[in-house]
Amino acid sequence: MLGPEFLIAHGRIYSPQASRALLRRLLGEVSWQSEFVAFGRRFVLPRLQAWFADAGVHYRYSENMLEQQTWLEPLLAIKHKVEAQCGHQFNSVLLTYYRDGHDHVSWHADDERELGEAPVIASLSLGASRDFHYRHKQTQLSDSVPVHDGELLLMQPAFQQEWDHCILPQPELTAPRLNLTFRQVVMRRA
Ligand SMILES: O=C(O)CCC(=O)C(=O)O
């Protein structure tokens, strides 16, 4: 693995039974968004997303101003567990719902100004296993780690500064996956 010091695997934090129940509940209760408008054009994402945050916290993800939703009780419970596990506090979470292996997210870094100079991001996976790819911004060296159901991966600040990441399509997969990335937005807008 190329960037092990920046990616910390916390392993399984939910049992298969608990993560199955969470997945089912969140897929049912969350209001999902797949479209956004930027530069006067409408885009449809190859995945579904939802954004939950404390009041007053706004975040523009890849020029996509996400509609903010008020925390759901199961998400707050997950947030508290993740914070206790990794020792960092978060005020928001981006949910990404990969309906099957066709859904994906392209190469990017979560280095938006709203996350400050040194963003720590905690990433929880529920459902199908996918491969999390990362590529060094300068050298273009790349590698991947499998991200499994119920597991927590912590991305240290240098990871966003030095590496891009993505989830590539895996068309053979039919099962859904939900990813929750907990973030601390440090710049607030009115
Ligand atoms: O689904 C994943 O594990 C990664 C999601 C992602 O790239 C992001 O939230 O920025």
Backbone dihedral angles phi then psi of residue 29, each to the nearest 5 degrees: -95, -25
Q: pLDDT value at position 190?
A: 45
CA atoms of 104 and 130, how far apart (whole Å): 10
Instruction: Kindly report whether the global pTM for this prediction surpasses the value 0.85.
Output: yes
**Residue whose structure tokens are 């991200």:** 147
CA 118 – CA 73 distance, rounded (Å) = 28
Q: Give the residue-averaged pLDDT of 151-174.
A: 95
Confidence at 16, pLDDT banded by 50, 70, 90: very high
Query: 55 alpha carbon to ligand 1 midpoint, in Å?
Result: 23
Q: In whole angstroms, give the CA distance from residue 158 to residue 153.
A: 14
Domain 7-183 has CATH 2.60.120.590: yes
Residue 142, pLDDT score: 94
Q: Which atom of ligand 1 is nearest to the CA of 132?
A: 3
Mean pLDDT (the chain, rounded): 91
When pLDDT is averaged across residues 25-52 and rounded to a whole number, the result is: 90
pLDDT, residue 40, reads 79
Q: Mean per-residue pLDDT for 105-114?
A: 89
Q: Is the pLDDT of residue 14 over 80?
A: yes
| Average pLDDT, integer, range 138-142 | 94
On whether the CB atoms of residues 90 and 82 are closer than 8 A, the answer is yes
Instruction: Name residue 135's beta-bridge partners.
Output: 142, 164
d(CA 103, CA 81): 27
Ligand 1 mean position, distance from CA 17 (Å): 23
Among 11-15, 51-55, 95-99, 176-180, which is the least confidently predicted range?
A: 51-55
Quote the ligand 1 centre to 166 CA distance (angstroms).
7
Give the tens place of pLDDT for each residue, 163-172.
Answer: 999 999 999 9
Of 69-73, 97-101, 186-190, least confident by mean pLDDT is 186-190
Sequence-ordered list of residues with C-beta below 8 angstroms from that of 87, at least 6 positions apart, any chain: none
- pLDDT above 70: residue 4: no
Q: What is the pLDDT of residue 103?
A: 98
CA distance 101 to 183: 25
Residue 147 CA: nearest ligand 1 atom is 3
The full set of domain ranges for the chain reads 7-183
Say which DSSP state 114 is in.
Answer: G
Ligand 1 binding pocket mutation candidate from 98, 105, 108, 177 (most atoms within 8 A of CB): 105
Band of residue 189 on the pLDDT scale cut at 50, 70, 90 = low
Ligand 1 mutation pick, 107, 114, 132, max ligand atoms within 8 A of CB: 132
Protein residue whose Cα sits closest to atom 8 of ligand 1: 181
* Ligand 1 site, CB within 6 A: 94, 96, 105, 110, 123, 132, 147, 165, 167, 179, 181
From CA 118, how far away is CA 70, in angstroms rounded? 26
